[in-house]
A and B are shown apart, each in its own frame.
Chain A
Amino acid sequence: MILEHKITLVTGASRGIGKAIALELGKYGATVIGTATSESGADHINQYLGEAHVSGMGLVMDVSNIEHINNGIETIQKSLGDVAILVNNAGITRDNLLARMKDDEWDSVLQTNLKSVFCLSRAVLRAMMKARSGRIINISSVVGTTGNPGQTNYAAAKAGMMGFSKSLAKEIGSRNITVNCVAPGFIDTDMTRSLSSDLQQSLIQHIPLGRLGRPEDVAAAVVFLASPAADYITGATLHVNGGMYME
């Protein structure tokens, strides 16, 4: 299998896109460590990985906490080995119009969605550099490219990921480590289900493929970027959005 025994870390893997990514990577042989912020989330990850016969484990990690990150990476290193594939998926929204946005709403989104990418990438980079191979895949968003009212914080973080990825891709390309983004459009998850059905309908009108995306649609793109088929792709953003935004 193309990802046999590759140690893979997927943040925010208890549900939605992260869960689909963890399962899809596991299907191709990867050993998957999925993170969640709570014990119950980590238990759920253990449960679904076990049911799918995927090796790996759920791990409690708050990606906005640098100590959690460093301890988590150490735990993985000791129990399973060095991370070969990092998927930065964990993310939150705190939507508000800018005129009403609180410092806390800005900071928490930037901390969880963007600073975590920096901290986790740095934490796994040394081992990847030594191994002369590695994959970092950052789950951005169409909103990082198009913008969206009420999401200045979220869009800034998601666009920030793309600039981060391109810069890091240039820094460590010589070590055979690739850094790419996947930018989902509107995917059918808890995050989008909270939108009103009227809003959902109007969104679908702007999607040429005429439906919301499935988490599995995003997961397939991640598997591709993680696989040897994507050896020569770095610094790229792969849009998975049903055509709602085209580059």
Chain B
Amino acid sequence: MEITEIEQRIKKIVAEQLGVNESEVKNESSFVNDLGADSLDTVELVMALEEEFECEIPDEQAEKINTVQEAIDFVAANTTQ
């Protein structure tokens, strides 16, 4: 899967999940600090990523995914689609 495709899909999910405009979702955006996510939002986001990319994200990995770029990196490194 192309990085640009991963990026697009992740930004779409983030925008939907956090109820923000997709144009506001930048690679460097922090879910909590920039996009207004609370702890439950971040859990939901991780679950949505798991569903979208059919992978499992362990809690200790999930804790390290705080920005859009970190999500892209994780998916790129952990999916083979």
Which residues of A come within 8 Å of B, CB atoms?
Answer: 126, 129, 171-172, 174-175
Contact = CB atoms under 8 A, between A and B. Distances in A.
Contacts of A126: 47
Interface in B20-58: 38, 40, 44, 47
For chain A, what secondary structure do more than half of its interface residues adopt (helix, strand, loop), or is it mixed? helix
A45 B38 CA distance: 42
Contacts, number: 7
Nearest to A172: B40
B14 to A, nearest CB: 15
A52 B10 CA distance: 48
Contacts of A171: 40
B47 A174 contact: no
A126 B44 CA distance: 8
A172 B47 CA distance: 15
Nearest to A174: B40
B38 A174 contact: yes
B44 A129 contact: yes
Nearest to A126: B47
A175 B47 contact: no
6 contacts: A126-B47, A129-B44, A171-B40, A172-B40, A174-B38, A175-B40
B38 to A, nearest CB: 7
B55 to A, nearest CB: 16
Interface in B55-70: none
Contacts of A129: 44
Nearest to A175: B40
Contacts of B44: 129
A155 to B, nearest CB: 31
A200 B67 CA distance: 62
A177 B44 CA distance: 15
